[in-house]
Amino acid sequence: MVNFGFLLGHYNYWAVVVLFLIGLYAMIVKKNLIKKFMGLNIMDTSIFLFYISMGDVEGGVSPIIAHGGGSDVIYVNPLPSVLILTAIVVAISTTALALSLIIKIYEEYGTLDSDRLVELM
């Protein structure tokens, strides 16, 4: 007997797991270096989604203290947003650096296929 309440209550985690596996599959199976890196970015996105969705509070509003806001207002968790802001910037930096390395590899060897690169090196 499948517990549908459990499945529905954790639907954000299922989305995260599926995205993570898609990214991991692309990283392992694809031969093109840019496609491998797109897989890594998809995995990044799944981790961002994991953190942000973990900080959600039912019925919460964005964590901005309105002037004289009372204590009865429910805010969502601001801490995952902060951590993911850091992670997004790091992801952008690694993407930029990796893409420029890929450009240099293509200029040097004329291919982006990882098997061909292993033979050529």
Partner 1 sequence: MSESLFGEDVIVRTIARLVAPFIQLFGLYVLMHGHVSPGGGFQAGVIIASSFILLALALGLPESKERFKKTIRLPMESSGPLIFALIGVTCILAGGYYLQYGIAFLFPPAVVSAILISAVEIGIGITVLAMIVTIFYAMAGD
Partner 2 sequence: MKIIPSIFILFIGVMLAAAVAGMPEFGDPNSPANTHIVPYYRENSLEETGVTEIVTSIVVSYRGYDTFGEVTVIFTAGTGVIALLGRK
Asked if 78 is part of the footprint of partner 1 (rule: CB under 8 A), the reply reads no
Of 21 and 103, CB closest to partner 1: 103
Asked if 54 is part of the footprint of partner 2 (rule: CB under 8 A), the reply reads yes
Asked if 90 is part of the footprint of partner 1 (rule: CB under 8 A), the reply reads no
Shortest Å distance, C-beta 64 to partner 2: 5
Residues 67 and 76: their CA atoms lie apart, in Å, by: 18
Asked if 62 is part of the footprint of partner 1 (rule: CB under 8 A), the reply reads yes
Residues 95 and 121: their CA atoms lie apart, in Å, by: 24
Asked if 2 is part of the footprint of partner 2 (rule: CB under 8 A), the reply reads no
16 burial class (0-12, 13-18, 19+ CB within 10 angstroms)? buried
Q: What is the CA radius of gyration of the chain?
A: 20
Q: Which of 88, 10, 102, 80 is nearest to 44 (CA)?
A: 88
Of 3 and 62, CB closest to partner 1: 62
Residues 14-53 that bind partner 2 (CB under 8 A): 14, 17, 20-21, 24-25, 28-29, 53
Of 54 and 120, CB closest to partner 2: 54
Residues 37 and 96: their CA atoms lie apart, in Å, by: 11
